[in-house]
Structure 1
Amino acid sequence: MSCLFPGIKPTKKVDVLQDISFTIAPGEALGIVGHNGAGKSTLLKIITGTLAPSTGIVRLEGRIFAILELGMGFNHELTARENVMHVSGLMGISQAEILQVLPELEAFAEIGSYFDQPMRQYSSGMHMRVAFALATAIRPDILIVDEALSVGDAYFQHKSFERIRKFRAQGTTLLFVSHDKAAILALCDRAILLNQGKLLMDGQPSAVMDYYNALVAEKESATLVQHVNEKGQAVTRSGTGEAEMLMLQLLHEQKSVEIVEVGLTVILRATVRCHQPIPCLIMGYMIKDRLGQPIFGINTHLTEQSMTDLRAGETLTFDFAFPANLGPGSYSVSTSLSSTENHLTDNYEWRDLAMVFTVVNTTQAHFAGCAWIEPKITITKNLREPS
């Protein structure tokens, strides 16, 4: 058969996803993470039926709603109300159902009179409000959210996350794609990591996100290793190796401790060796709670204490003194050695779960939360009755 366009070769077939296989239990929340181009959006489109897989099958049970992009099939010349009536039918929602929940949907979106204005006048945040309100107007069995919440304002993000948590408590299965580590840790029971179209990791959200962050920092000459410690926690280490942390201790009155009283002053001591000449060395640490959420982080660049012109074989001791003004619970420490204020350039060494310690409260008044902020309360009694 002759070619219609001589000299032009057919486009090469590219398999975006390769041998992806996983199961999600009813009511489970699964985070999906990976670099741009890893295949996350393609995977969700196959799950929702927007795309057909070239091989393999997808089994789903129950009603599925998805927010894969802000448009959601909206016609920008129509109002939000008109679009909701049209798109809800495409989603399999009957007219009777959507009319019943329409007042609540409009109230949840909180865009006021714009609800009856053409959507071409909307900002991206307003599009997201309508799209999310529609996708969650009726509790689905499976809810899929692909980064859409990232364009919303902080208030609506909190409101949306609260609705997702409510649905989860009622048994909705969640598939959540995001680069936001805090959101993955807060919402998900489990996470999978996609890399170049392959399923690289499937496990606890904190372990998966630590590995993902290490991939972001990894260079061609870097190593990336993850192992399980004696407490069953996944410890991630990456870096090029020019500098190495030999020891990390938490000290009180020069004694190593694993249990710390609320408010007690402690020293985080790191012993670091340079294996190669290093023009500039910055050390930092991050304290995280038991879910992996960041509590506090600092580095020697921010404190204007960068070390320069270090020779191979030199050893340094970094002492970070701070009051343990933390709520009772378990905490971990991540450390970084780099040449800049972040570990994305010249990542000599990055360690997640480099240390774990516990904070207890036997000396302060009982309080709630993750931070001890010593209260100073003044009460004044009015002697005269208000007129």
Structure 2
Amino acid sequence: MSGTEKISVIGLGYVGLPLAVAIARHFPTVGFDIDEARIAQLRAGHDRTREVEDDAMAATALHCTADPAEMAGCAVYIVTVPTPVDQWNKPDLSPLKAACKTVGDVLTPGATVVFESTVYPGVTEDLCGPLLERFSGLTCGTDFFLGYSPERINPGDREHTVDRITKVIAGQTPEVTEQLARVYGTVTTGGVFRAASIKAAEAAKVIENAQRDINIAFINEITMIFQRMGLSIQDVLAASNTKWNFLPFQPGLVGGHCIGVDPFYLAECASQLGHHPEIILSGRKVNDSMGHYIADRVMDLMGPDKENARVLVMGLTFKENVPDLRNTRVVDIIAKLRAKGHVVDVHDPMADTEEAARYYQIELKRSLDELSGYDALIGAVPHTPYKALAADAFQRLVKPGGLIADIKGMWRGAPLPQGMQVWSL
């Protein structure tokens, strides 16, 4: 161990678990989650999110618990709970508020509470601080202190892991900032960056993903334009990417727990200040429309006389090679096709069948080998097994003259069967 301070991580999902395992290599660490089934799974040495390999999970010194009392006496509490949006795309801070109560109930004088959850500027100090005071009976800035260090986990990314990236940190006082520099600096080889303030660190996180969202929205919009010209965006990008400062964004569906959500947090902050965020919301509007756009193009290509078509959607997760179904926009394609009377089957080798049924009422087909004879096949998510499909698989899956819609261009250059329509963005 590099330190004797006891540290707790609250929320053991895609963000919290890898962080907790990394911290546990250097400090006594407690990982807390309200999901008792999740805790049992982790204690058995398995992480269903696949962010932590089973051998690493089995070997970790991390103590996982669903009992808040086991976090008592910690020097540092790190909150990594999700910050989603509601049905009106307004920030839903209820998980964060619940975490404040959980921590507040066990908080003792001298402790530091660090938030990693994505929020808009001001939430840590103006919302979380007072909540912690209420539940603990302690005074913020005197008895306990606040910090912020935005998470930068990219699900499925084995290069930019939490123990390699630069961690932005900010503390309520210079002393707290240095405490966080020591803790996070011990955990990551990427070093730490001391932000000017907690609000500056909060703002940095929320604009990182808003910037990506806007850039992808631009590519999505020009994709729609070029489609009307009979141009493939992939052909256009292949040429544009030869310029040294061209940004290599790709068109497609934008979901997940960050890019599809964080811009709404920034928009809410702007609205509270009396500013209408036109570019931010325009980017969200374009990206949120892509599922319906793709469904419309598929139906156009199948032909207006094609009713009750059988369509196979390949891929449901929000990105390739991860099991993460949060805020996946593939569901928009499925919903639009089903609303028009088409029969849609869905396959995904990575997604959890129970989660797909619980969150989206979608029954996943578990084997492609048992499927055949579709009017259209939509390659929605470029999972590695899909990229390796042979021509005979397409021959079986799609009727002669049927449509192969390659949303992400994963089959560009592949030997697809003759006599089929092939379309991509």
TM class by shorter chain equals: under 0.3
TM-score (norm 1): 0.26
Higher strand share: 1
Higher helix share: 2
TM-score (norm 2): 0.24
- Return the index of the structure with the highest Cα Rg: 1
Question: Of the two structures, which has the highest relative contact order with CA contacts closer than 8 Å and spacing of 6 or more?
Answer: 1
